Amino acid sequence: MIDLMIPFTDNKSAPYYEQIYCFIKKEIQEGRIGAGEKLPSTRQLAEKLSVSRSTTQLAYDQLVAEGYLEARPCRGYYAAEVESLLSMPERGSEETELLLEASGEEREEGMLDFSPRGIDLGHFPFSVWRKLSRETLQEGNREFFASGLPRGEQKLRGAICDYLRASRGIHCRPEQIVVGAGSEYLLMLLWQITGKRRIAMEDPTYRQASRVLQSLGHDILPVAIDRSGMRADLLAQSGADMAYIMPSHQFPTGAVMSVSRRREILNWSVEVPGRYLIEDDYDSEFRYRGRPIPALCGSDYAGRVIYIGTFSKAVAPAIRVSYMVLPEELNRRYDEVCGFYASTVSRVDQEILARFLEEGYFERHLNRMRGIYRNKHDALLEALEPLRKDFRISGQMAGLQLLLESCRGEREETLIARAAQAGVRVYGLSAYFLKPAESHTVILGYANLEEEEICRGVQILQEAWSTKEMA
Amino acid sequence: MIDLMIPFTDNKSAPYYEQIYCFIKKEIQEGRIGAGEKLPSTRQLAEKLSVSRSTTQLAYDQLVAEGYLEARPCRGYYAAEVESLLSMPERGSEETELLLEASGEEREEGMLDFSPRGIDLGHFPFSVWRKLSRETLQEGNREFFASGLPRGEQKLRGAICDYLRASRGIHCRPEQIVVGAGSEYLLMLLWQITGKRRIAMEDPTYRQASRVLQSLGHDILPVAIDRSGMRADLLAQSGADMAYIMPSHQFPTGAVMSVSRRREILNWSVEVPGRYLIEDDYDSEFRYRGRPIPALCGSDYAGRVIYIGTFSKAVAPAIRVSYMVLPEELNRRYDEVCGFYASTVSRVDQEILARFLEEGYFERHLNRMRGIYRNKHDALLEALEPLRKDFRISGQMAGLQLLLESCRGEREETLIARAAQAGVRVYGLSAYFLKPAESHTVILGYANLEEEEICRGVQILQEAWSTKEMA
């Protein structure tokens, strides 16, 4: 076993768990810890470094989530195989401030029910939005009512660039960004650049995207996922020339694409000219444990990744502003083919959003919402504890929903019907399948419920799904 | 010659010129005045009815613009051939209040220079917009930040229906309307319903639309226009299965489609199943003389017209809200094929705009802008008077630009270059041609200039284009 002596720096620069994470990641990336080598247990490392065990656990969890470590049940943690090609970009401390929330102890207990598409609007920053809106709608600001730049205003694109660099590890220029009224609209523009394609999609996936892509005339090729994301071997066999993926937090499964899988997928994209990856980074803001997972786009040195982000989840669904970052080749083609399209977002809204980002309101709003969602998430996991003997829970690292898979082999229809009879609505995973298949998994979204409702909902589910009731 | 005895009703119900217009229109529609019959001169009729000559002139101008009368130079006015099939829908007095502005004397003198895409934002109703925005962004209005209805909110679609009925003679249900972030986006949705088509377009036309349609993969078939709009004989020969037309006010020529041409075009659309007409009614709000030209859609009893309207011209370009009215068959297909697309307009903006329409602000704004634009228009026409000996002026009934065609056969490049040398920018008509052709016509947009600038600009043009200078 490796002896890790981590040289903690001034502890104000970054929390211990993050220093441990960075140190081990670098050791693995640079080959000083080889693939397959066993690491000390979290307890051993905690004792050695004189930190709490939750600190080492948090670092390991993050390394596992990103694919640097493998957790083998009852055996411990082992270094995974990683190629240096895909070393994650270094990011500054702004990111730490902006996105790292789960610095304290881990809380993994709690539960609820309801729609996986819900959002908690109870904390929408009305007064700030109203203030920015009022200040924008001044007589002196007539220019906001004139036609704007086709790709979106410079100020907003600049603010998005800053955000992406600080929080998602993406280094891009405002000239690569296209702002649009929703991701669906951006997919329409993209279709005009790439033409009809054969697009591999994770199965299950975000069905709204598959519907849009299909409606645009693309062929959709379902590719199965495992714990590390879309299976690269199946992608290679699929005949696809494009892939639509959610590496940071797959919807609806919550799978995080591992580092080696990222490398494989990126390698696939460069094997044949003209292949592209669409990275849908729809909710990377809401991660409750450890460091945020960097965007795949930040590791894309070959210009194969089209990055799509949105403010619908992080601010509010009615804020119809999404954006895409185009790799250089497609960016040039955009100018040729779509350069004449006027922006679909009003300049007033662009100005309000740009100021919301630039003046730190977005950061504060995210921090607040992350706390609120984490509390709900934790309440849900805690309430679910008694169900663990019959259900496998997954997707709990991030996002706004969890998956419950019946270990007793009950079908989702049965689970949904039982829950509905008892007055609780849960959702079947099969609604997200591209290829119809039997499912034993239900989804519980919790964003739109209060903690008390979550707990009550789970108690009802426990009763409704008890062996006695199901028999 | 026909003896017209017009029974004026209570003169508060409608102005005299409108009663004259309605009477003669009905006489022609119902065959009591036959095609080719000569009408009294405006002077004769004015004397007989004891009204001013400008009143009879206004009524005749409107009847000519709508194709009920033909004005034969030096000979007088004759009834045109009209089939009762296409009788214009009756419209209430709201419309009169809302859109009829040019009730007083005619002013046809004036001139300026600049972009045909400009809009006067100096009179944007900031305080109203701010008030509506503030009232919408209240804590109690959380629902405006949740996801809305895919086609747009019921309230806005209802307000648009009311406006269309009162002002454009279109009777539709809110369920037929789709609200979207700009007409270009609506054309993208439309493409998904109709599939790839062979679309006839007026030549010259609004090039932004032709670019969008082309980019979507449609074939564009240019069809020449004459004074009455797109030539129906050439449309029939074109092989098109769809046509994109601007019957109320063709851009950029300003041609108004005559009643008989409307009938021909509508007949074309019903001859073969699956044919459709896209009616782009982009600026019907700004008409300075006579009654507004009714929308073709209001005469479409066969469900062949797709109507597209926008608030970009009438309110402000940055208000990214357009809408389309789908005939029943396409409307059903929309639900099947595009029903899942989320609205591209924020609910906050939809609420503000709906209230702007419902509470009468839009009407007041239009009346105000119509007055402002008419003053500019008149100033432009007046200043242009000395140029009439060398230029044919057209497109002056409505819209925000005029056309000047050189009678001396100078090419537009020469006119543009001369003007530019003297510090004035004018635009060539050829930029709007689908089929390249020689042009001797320049476009003068005046919306964005002050009256004083208009007069100064025309003086400079007169000097720059004088025979001495051009030689």
Average pLDDT (B200-227) is 95
CA–CA distances in Å: residue A5 to residues A19, A23, A30, A462, B224: 12, 9, 16, 46, 81
Q: What is the pLDDT of residues A287-344, one digit of tens each?
A: 776 667 789 999 898 999 999 999 987 888 778 899 999 999 999 999 999 999 999 9
Instruction: Examine the pLDDT at A88 and tell me if it is beyond 70.
Output: no
Average pLDDT (B429-452) is 91
pLDDT at residue B57, as a whole number: 85
Of the candidate ranges A454-458, A459-463, B151-155, B310-314, the one whose mean pLDDT is the lowest:
B310-314
CA distance B172 to chain A (A): 26
In sequence order, what DSSP letters do the residues of A211-244 get, joined into one string? HHHHHTT-EEEEEEEETTEE-HHHHHHTT-SEEE
Beta strands B401-406; B427-428: pairing state = unpaired
Residue A15: which pLDDT band, with cuts at 50, 70 and 90?
confident
Beta strands A305-310; A276-280: pairing state = parallel
Q: What share of chain B is helix, strand, coil (3-state, %, to 5)?
A: 45, 15, 40
Instruction: Examine the pLDDT at B280 and tell me if it is beyond 60.
Output: yes
More confident residue, B202 or A467: B202
CA distance A237 to chain B (A): 30
Asked if A431 reaches chain B (Cβ–Cβ under 8 Å), the answer is no
Residues 278-317 of chain A with CB under 8 A from chain B are 316-317
Q: Is B35 helix (H, G, I), strand (E, B) or coil?
A: coil
Instruction: Sort out which chain B residues have CB atoms less than 8 A from A130's CB and list them.
Output: 134, 137-138
Of A119, A130, A344, the CB nearest to B181: A344
Q: Are A387 and A462 in contact (CB under 8 A)?
A: yes
Of the candidate ranges A117-121, A343-347, B90-94, the one whose mean pLDDT is the lowest:
B90-94
Q: Where are the beta strands (DSSP E) in B22-96?
A: 69-72, 76-79
In sequence order, what DSSP letters do the residues of A397-440 get, joined into one string? TBSSEEEEEETT---HHHHHHHHHHTT---EEGGGG-SS-----
Q: Evaluate whether ipTM surpasses 0.90.
A: no
Asked if B336 reaches chain A (Cβ–Cβ under 8 Å), the answer is no
Of A192, A317, A344, the CB nearest to B320: A344
Chain pair A-B, CB pairs under 8 angstroms? 124
Q: Do A342 and B182 touch (CB under 8 A)?
A: yes
Instruction: Sort out which chain A residues have CB atoms less than 8 A from B188's CB and list them.
Output: 185, 188
Asked if B134 reaches chain A (Cβ–Cβ under 8 Å), the answer is yes
- Kindly identify which residue of chain A lies nearest to residue B208, measuring between CA atoms: A340
Determine which of B191, B211, B338, B341 to mutate to test the interface with A (most A C-beta atoms within 10 Å): B341
CA distance B438 to chain A (A): 25
Asked if A122 reaches chain B (Cβ–Cβ under 8 Å), the answer is yes
Cα B306 from Cα B341, distance rounded (Å) = 19
Cα A56 from Cα A448, distance rounded (Å) = 33
Q: Do A185 and B181 touch (CB under 8 A)?
A: yes
CA distance B352 to chain A (A): 13
Q: Are A81 and A28 in contact (CB under 8 A)?
A: no
Of B211, B318, B340, the CB nearest to A145: B318
Phi and psi dihedrals of A61, rounded to 5?
A: -55, -45
Cα A274 from Cα A268, distance rounded (Å) = 11
Asked if B119 reaches chain A (Cβ–Cβ under 8 Å), the answer is yes
Q: Do A145 and B124 touch (CB under 8 A)?
A: yes
Cα A334 from Cα A190, distance rounded (Å) = 8
Q: Do A342 and B146 touch (CB under 8 A)?
A: no
Asked if A133 reaches chain B (Cβ–Cβ under 8 Å), the answer is yes
Residues 342-371 of chain B with CB under 8 A from chain A are 342-349
More confident residue, A142 or A394: A394
Contacts of A285 (CB under 8 A, 6+ apart): A99, A167, A313, A314, A366, A369, A370
Residues 216-275 of chain A with CB under 8 A from chain B are 216
Cα B304 from chain centroid (whole Å):
19
DSSP label at residue A156? H
CA distance A368 to chain B (A): 17
Q: Are A213 and A439 in contact (CB under 8 A)?
A: no
Residue A84: which pLDDT band, with cuts at 50, 70 and 90?
very low
CA distance A191 to chain B (A): 9
More confident residue, B84 or B199: B199
pLDDT at residue B98, as a whole number: 22
Mean of the per-residue pLDDT values for chain A?
A: 85
Of the candidate ranges A357-371, A452-466, B6-20, the one whose mean pLDDT is the lowest:
B6-20
Q: Are A183 and A209 in contact (CB under 8 A)?
A: yes
Q: Are A86 and A299 in contact (CB under 8 A)?
A: yes
Cα A425 from chain centroid (whole Å):
24
Average pLDDT (B284-294) is 73
Q: Do B122 and A139 touch (CB under 8 A)?
A: no
CA distance B338 to chain A (A): 8
Instruction: Examine the pLDDT at A462 and tell me if it is beyond 70.
Output: yes
Q: Do A346 and B319 touch (CB under 8 A)?
A: yes
Of the candidate ranges B4-8, B106-110, B126-130, B170-174, the one whose mean pLDDT is the lowest:
B106-110
pLDDT at residue A100, as a whole number: 24
Asked if A468 reaches chain B (Cβ–Cβ under 8 Å), the answer is no
Q: Do A341 and B133 touch (CB under 8 A)?
A: no
Determine which of B179, B185, B311 to mutate to test the interface with A (most A C-beta atoms within 10 Å): B185
Q: What is the pLDDT of residues B364-383, one digit of tens each?
A: 888 888 888 889 999 999 99
Q: Do B319 and A124 touch (CB under 8 A)?
A: no
pLDDT at residue A107, as a whole number: 26
- Kindly identify which residue of chain B lies nearest to residue A119, measuring between CA atoms: B146
Residue B296: which pLDDT band, with cuts at 50, 70 and 90?
very high
pLDDT at residue A114, as a whole number: 57
Mean of the per-residue pLDDT values for chain B?
A: 85
Q: What is the pLDDT of residues B392-426, one digit of tens each?
A: 998 877 778 899 999 999 999 999 999 888 888 89
Q: Do B320 and A345 touch (CB under 8 A)?
A: yes
Of the candidate ranges A94-108, A389-403, B236-250, the one whose mean pLDDT is the lowest:
A94-108
| Cis, peptide link before residue B317, omega less than 30° from 0 | no
Beta strands B305-310; B322-325: pairing state = antiparallel
pLDDT at residue A101, as a whole number: 27
Of the candidate ranges A95-104, B190-199, B230-239, the one whose mean pLDDT is the lowest:
A95-104
pLDDT at residue A113, as a whole number: 45
Instruction: Sort out which chain B residues have CB atoms less than 8 A from A148's CB and list them.
Output: 318
Asked if A149 reaches chain B (Cβ–Cβ under 8 Å), the answer is no
* Angle formed at CA B285 by CA B282 and CA B286, multiple of 5 degrees: 100
Residue B201: which pLDDT band, with cuts at 50, 70 and 90?
very high
Average pLDDT (A202-208) is 94
Q: Do A146 and B117 touch (CB under 8 A)?
A: no
